[in-house]
Structure 1
Amino acid sequence: MMNYDVELDVRRLACPLPILRAKKSLSTMNSGQVLKVVATDKGAPKDFADFCKKTGNELLSSTEENGEFVFLIRRRAV
């Protein structure tokens, strides 16, 4: 797995909370830093893909293992 700067655990939270928490975390990070998000919401893969497309942050990876989704998101340049 790739290195990351901040990890966010949003397991057992339903939409829209995982996205809102990720947005808040990203707002405190520097451009180019990587956020790792761990979620269990079944809609998270689509939600995070849409979120990154709309905000300009880069979705580096989206994986699923044992019902947990892991996303690596690079903070966009501001």
Structure 2
Amino acid sequence: MPGSEPDHWSTPFMSFNPQARDHAALITSDAQAVHIARELANHFKTESAVRDRERRLPHAELELFSQSGLWGISVPKAFG
């Protein structure tokens, strides 16, 4: 069901209501960033085919990504 998060999500940012949060999660390590990215990818793929078929924009997914903290990470120039 759109808007509901699976019970298996263990990362801190998944236990919140995106509309109620005023700031994104803070990622403090490479391992945490990779973990969050994998969790988001697994979550996104569960609804992507239905969303595409129904021609819906990924508003909820963008909100989760925004709140995840991944927008705030930096990548050294040597890595792109």
Range of TM-score over shorter length: 0.3 to 0.5
Bigger relative contact order, structure 1 or 2 (CA pairs below 8 A, ≥6 apart): 2
Q: For the pair shown, which has the larger CA radius of gyration, 1 or 2?
A: 2
TM-score (norm 1): 0.38
Greater fraction helix: 2
TM-score (norm 2): 0.37
